[in-house]
Amino acid sequence: MGKIIAIANQKGGVGKTTTTVNLAASLGALEKKVLLIDTDPQANATSGLGIDVDAQTLGTYQLLEHTAEAQDCIIEGRSPNVSVIPSHIDLVAIEIELVDKEEREYMLRKAILPLKNSFDYILIDCAPSLGLLTLNALTAADAVLIPIQCEYFALEGLGKLLNTVKSIQKIHNASLDIEGLLLTMYDSRLRLSNQVESEVRQHFGDMVFKTVIQRNVKLSEAPSFGKSIINYDIDSRGAENYIDLAKELITK
């Protein structure tokens, strides 16, 4: 049975979508069968895997509305062993449309349950908020992976996210686990990066992944070509970091 991991942080610009796309591609490169579900209306994970967002007629919106079966929403990504349920800007409306529905927090969970045996990993890219879309992702997930950038406000909002996880564990999903905290945008030349890493590891200990995602120009360039870092430059430091993360995840 596959593992469902939500990649979440309500803070924007922490490397959440970068992590979802490149972790999916790295797991695929390690011969794991992966499904990426894009639940962010910005659809950056979808376009980051070379998919034309505007050309898609089925995706996360229809999945949450239950107007399409999960299997019908899946398309093949450009990375080996990686499939995608794409997002679209229309997804912005879903929080309003679901607000009066019964069990609105469970829509994604119900929709993707039939897929769980078909994949080794299902990765959910969350929107940068703690709204209904992220709530659906965390209710559907077995675990949450939290990217944290190595910058001054790194821990800002983390307490709120962890409290949200606790609430979901109590009310909606008792089995939700924290897969780990992932340090991103690390620059060993900067004292601040080293201070943040030290502080996060001191506070959270084994919850923090050993792998650190370093600042890398190639990582920033890859999405503009609609490619994961694995497809764009397999020899880059960014590719090496995400392959290491995938290996660490597999052996956890």
CATH number at residue 10: 3.40.50.300
Average pLDDT, the chain: 92
> Tokens representing 6?
């939500």
For the residues of 100-164, what is the DSSP string, one character each? TSTTGGGHHHHHHGGGGGG-SEEEEEPPSSSSHHHHHHHHH-SEEEEEEESSTTTTTTHHHHHHH
pTM (predicted TM-score): 0.94
Helix, strand, coil share (%) of the chain residues, nearest 5 = 50, 20, 35
| Counted domains in the chain | 1
- Among residues 206, 210, 212, which one has the least CA distance to residue 154? 212
Residue 168, domain extent: 3-251
pLDDT digits (tens, 9 = 90+) for 193-218: 888 898 889 989 999 999 999 999 99
How many residues are recorded in the chain? 252
Q: Does residue 209 contact residue 181 with C-beta atoms inside 8 Å?
A: yes
**Tens digits of per-residue pLDDT, 134-184?**
999 999 999 999 999 988 777 777 888 888 899 999 999 999 999 999 999
